[in-house]
Amino acid sequence: MYSTPYHTTDLSNQKILITGGAGFIGSHLVEYLLKYGAIVRVIDNFITGRRENIDLFKNNPRFEFIEGDICNKADCDRACDGINVLLHQAALGSVPRSIKDPVATNRINVDGFLTIMVAARDAGIQRVVYASSSSVYGDHPGLPKVEDKIGKQLSPYAVSKYTNELYAHVFGLNYGMKIIGLRYFNIFGPRQDPNGQYAAVIPKWIDMLKKNERPIINGDGSNTRDFTFVENAVQANIKAMTTENENAFGQIYNIACGYQFSLMDLFNGLKEILGSSVMPVHGSSREGDIAQSLADINKAKKLLGYDPAFAFKDGLKITVTQY
């Protein structure tokens, strides 16, 4: 992966901190940045990150790992020391998990975000790119989703991500930091954990189909998502951290492909790739879920030069191969 660079500047003098770098998206950012010569530091506490994800890089002299918590100011201060760019990926994901435990979601996603942002400010870090979520759109009925039109959030997870966006705005306003937010739309790809109660749908279904087990589809399968291969998310982060377009800062961008696929489309696509004849089980709809999701990505294209290189089905094939 990453045979095509998404940057034009020299990264060899850049010292980049990735929070949650042992996680799914974070570890792909580490891989890209090390490949192109950056110095990369990761902070992670392994609540959802995995040690095997960073074991891939432990012998690289330009890689440093700190086992720490973004809710701990001392850990954040240590992690931010000497850093040029912060890529904030650390979060407690999953809408259902946030409904079950809103306190944990708020502590990590809101308190942790604020703590790392204060540490970044104190360390003089000017450039910050952070992960937001399409869940912020809530009950707004409009399709495709446009950045400045959101509804009421439907879960504690969505509230936490919207709170990140509000804090990012005031940090940029009051401290002169160049901050960019990326609203991810259902990112998937290699290294996404298929295990556990809150596993994402694509790795979970791949795992089950390979075992000839019947996946549960929440609802009738008509819910749609703008499924986005992880390398597209990496591209967006790299474009955001290297852009010199002054109009790009202080903004939030949809990061997706601009196409919607239903859960049944996803299921049938995986069946075809895996050559499976397994049929799904239909369960009840999930609390806090957005029924229809489709992104307008024109803002990211215009201001960041974002151009998703991997279509949904291409990403699925790569993901299945990697698993």
253: annotated active-site residue: no
| Among 312, 278, 318, CA closest to 191 | 318
| Rounded distance between C-alpha atoms, residue 215 and residue 201, angstroms | 9
| Rounded distance between C-alpha atoms, residue 299 and residue 293, angstroms | 17
Radius of gyration of the chain (CA): 19
| Rounded distance between C-alpha atoms, residue 163 and residue 243, angstroms | 25
**In the Cβ-directed half-sphere of 181, how many Cα atoms lie within 13 Å?**
24
Helix (H) or strand (E) holding 304: helix 298-304
Asked if 194 and 206 touch (Cβ cutoff 8 Å), the reply is yes
Q: Choose the catalytic residue: 32, 137, 157, 184.
A: 157
Please work out, in degrees rounded to the nearest 5, the angle formed at the alpha carbon of residue 25 by the alpha carbons of 104 and 188.
Answer: 100
Q: Which residues contact 275 (CB under 8 A, 6 or more apart)?
A: none
Q: What angle do helix axes 112-122 and 73-80 make, rounded to 10 degrees? A: 40
Asked if 47 and 114 touch (Cβ cutoff 8 Å), the reply is no
Structure tokens at 181: 């937010």
Task: List residues with catalytic annotation.
Answer: 157
